[in-house]
Amino acid sequence: MRVYFDNAATTALDPEVLKEMYKVMETQFGNPSSIHAHGREVRTVIERSRKTIANLLHTSPAEIFFTSGGTEADNTAIRCGIVDHKLTHAITTRLEHHAVLHTLQAMEKAGVIKLSFADIDNKGNVDYDHLETLLKNNERSFVSLMHANNELGTITDLDRVGDICEAYNAIFHSDTVQTVGHYRHDLTKLKLHFMVCAAHKLHGPKGVGFLHVNHKVKINPMIYGGSQERNMRGGTENVYGIAGLAKALELAYAEMDAHQAYIQDLKSYMMAKLQQEVPGVTFNGETDPSKSLYTVLNTSFPEMEMADMLLFNLDIAGISASGGSACSSGTDIGSHVLTAIGANPNRPSVRFSFSKYNTKDEVDYTVAKLKDICLVSA
């Protein structure tokens, strides 16, 4: 049996998305910047896709800018949001994806900003009172807090952060890569200035995403070139990817409630099976369904001699997952997220992440293999 439990890294392309992309590939090849009929046809595909996405998010198409994915979108929001608004202070946490964390750290190293870290607890929850203290004690700030942590699944309350940021006139960016297509985002209500999406996290194609820029903030391009994306992002658009992204998001919204119930049940089932079959297993991050991303389960296993071989042994058994352990020293290459929440560096951790294509049979098979591996390695 081959089992894929690494959906937080990337998801399988939905067949309906592939059909939509193939239709465009087969019949429409013009350059969307060309003014002739071939170009206009392709331009229509892009703008129709932009409108579809905007309607689902309850925003204006003018606020959606297509990118090569989440990393570019995060970099654009952070670099341009800070520089163009002449901000000298930023706030984040030590749990952020490296697309955010490394960007902010590079800007601090270059002397552009002073970087502050909001406190987090041992489940990955943001200390909102400390966030407010940091905003109160510094000049106007740029705040970057992810919606759901990609390793732990712990969810940040965007409404609460938005209210706090509004009170201190801060610019608020959220890396929403793990939640777009899995939760509904109403941008008429969320007090966000920037949010991002990567299509391959919701059964769309790799190499395409979008940045939402609230009309209340203005930024200059990070990538210069042509006048594409209303002069906001130079370079010929990834037309096939954009069409696939729009279709993937459309499908995700249409099927969201059913898939959320199905995947949450799968996650709960795996938690129960692991606790039953593998003594000493614990879970990292929030386990309360209302506070945890239903697609992610981060599991710590008992200390074992071959801890660094756990993922390898799973792979040999035909099971794809990801993870590692907390760093035990400054030179270790481990999970910065697990280190930040104070996880035991001697216990191996595995992130299992689920999609609509997973089954309970796959869970049973995986737990049985984990039980065998832990017994042998004990």
Rounded CA separation 338/332 (Å): 13
Rounded CA separation 265/260 (Å): 8
Return all residues near 76 (Cβ < 8 A) that are at least 6 apart. Answer: 67, 211, 219, 221, 222, 223, 233
Rounded CA separation 164/257 (Å): 30
Residue type, 294: Y
Q: Find, among 187, 206, 223, the residue nearest to 54 by Cα.
A: 187
> In Å, what is the CA distance from 9 to each residue of 3, 35, 164, 213?
14, 39, 31, 25
Rounded CA separation 93/95 (Å): 5
Residue type, 56: L
Rounded CA separation 3/318 (Å): 6
Tokens of 229: 């994306």
Which string of b and e fits 65-75 if b means at least 16 CB within 10 Å? bbbbbbbbbbb
Q: Find, among 42, 16, 40, the residue nearest to 28 by Cα.
A: 42
Our answer to whether residue 327 is catalytic in this structure is yes
Q: Is 72 within 8 Å of 125 (Cβ atoms)?
A: no
Question: Where do the H-state alpha helices sit in 61-157?
Answer: 70-84, 98-109, 128-136
Q: Is 341 within 8 Å of 305 (Cβ atoms)?
A: no
Active-site residue, from 80, 165, 197, 327: 327
Catalytic residues: 327
